[in-house]
Amino acid sequence: MSTDAGHLFHFRKRHRLADDDHFPRPKHRRLAGDHFHRRLHEPRPLFQAVPCCLLRRPPIPPEAGVSAFDMGNFLSNACPGCMPRDGGLGLYRDWADASKDARDLTVATRDGVGLGRRVLSRRISDPRKAALQAAVPPWEKREPYYKDALKKARLPDKRLGEIEVEVRLKLEELDELRKPKEDLSPFFIPLTDEDEKNVYDCLYGSGSSNQVLVLHESSNIEISKEKIRCLRPHGWLNDEVINLFLELLKERGTREPKRSLKCHFFNTFFYKKLACGKNGYDYKSVKRWTTHRKLGYELIECDKIFVPVHQHVHWCLAIINMKAKTLQYLDSLGGNDPRVPEMLARYIVEEVKDKSNKEIDINSWTKEVVDYVPLQQNGYDCGMFMLKYMDFLSRGASLSFGQEHMEYFRKRTVKEIIKLRAD
């Protein structure tokens, strides 16, 4: 061996260290096998895309149930410098599940497929063939079973092609059904430059947070700068903003009866008052809410009765559909709470009996979980989805909106509250 060749051989040869304590490895140098060794023996994080703070699943903060809660600020403080890709939806689902008032709420995954361990079983169709294969000497080369199975799985299947065509046709039919058959332009009127400026001043302008922006005299609801700021992106909607918007929907129905159904909108305190008495259901606590003197009509005359339901950290909507004789439940997380329609069924029977002296056969009614509603894709827009369910359905329109419209709806709600008029 020449000198150069020997030098090259010696250079490439790697000696194994007998003891790392006696021969410490410099931090700035690594041997060739270090990376492979680390991958085999060092644990790696399972969810690199998820911030480490959210893997710990922080509990529900106390301020979440007290006033307007900014989910974006909470996520930023929990994990400075990063925002989860799902907008906090995963964390929000956990909070909704863990809520005491929403312990029966079932949440569907985004793709509708549950997670869990999958058990595969293999059945031997021909025992004679299996016995012959087992009798083959081990030294004889034969193709592994998984390769044979892979080849069979890749064989062209005529039925797969037929299924693909059927799926494509079904998707086309679904797209046709989803196309709005009515004019939805009134729900998506662009904001003018002046509207944009006024909205920005309300949400981000200087001045005292206690400054009262508007006062709705008939309901005595006043909205300050602090309260309206819940309509910023990532904010949780508070009771005052929701209740004032419901008052504006009532006035719109009176102002435009031909364009609206005859509806009644309960405020955010009604269901809690009805369902959280000393013994649970308590009709007497809400009996005086719907006198003819206060409303000017009776609930039996309405087409739809909207009931906001607050599941501790999550807004849902219940509808007593008097015209269709159904009790509907709409949840922007795709969940269900069977207690809500049960409570409202008892309520409407007693209410009609007390105010109109009529009997309702509630057993003939249908209880429906509306599963074709638009769903939220983050952890802070449930209140806006609930308001828009009522906004569209009170006019008999289809729910033709989605997560991409929430930023516009927040700004539009600010504009309508400032002007005390729902368009």
Between CA 268 and CA 316 the distance in angstroms is: 11
Distance CA 221, CA 213 (A): 11
Q: Point out which residues pair with 180 in neighbouring strands.
A: none
> Do residues 202 and 228 make contact, with C-beta atoms less than 8 angstroms apart?
yes
CA distance 90 to 70: 16
Catalytic residue among 70, 239, 331, 381: 331
| Catalytic residue list contains 382 | yes
CA distance 363 to 347: 14
Alpha-carbon span 22 to 85, nearest angstrom: 47
* Beta bridge partners of residue 318, listed in sequence order: 307, 329
Distance, CA of 308 to CA of 315 (rounded, Å): 7
Token pair in block for residue 415 = 């504009």
User: Cβ distance 80 to 66 under 8 Å?
Assistant: no
Nearest to 373 by CA among 332, 411, 344: 332
Measured between alpha carbons, how far apart are the two ends of the chain, in Å?
Answer: 93
- Asked if residue 356 lies in contact with residue 398, where contact means CB atoms within 8 angstroms, the answer is no
Q: Looking at 310, 314, 316, 381, which residue is catalytic? A: 314
Out of 79, 230, 316, 382, the active site residue is 382
| Catalytic (active site) residue 314 | yes
- The set of residues, in sequence order, having a beta carbon less than 8 Å from that of 130 and lying 6+ positions away, is 124
79 annotated active-site: no
Q: What is the side-by-side strand order in the sheet with 326-330? A: 263-265, 304-310, 315-321, 326-330, 366-369
Residues with a known catalytic role: 314, 331, 382
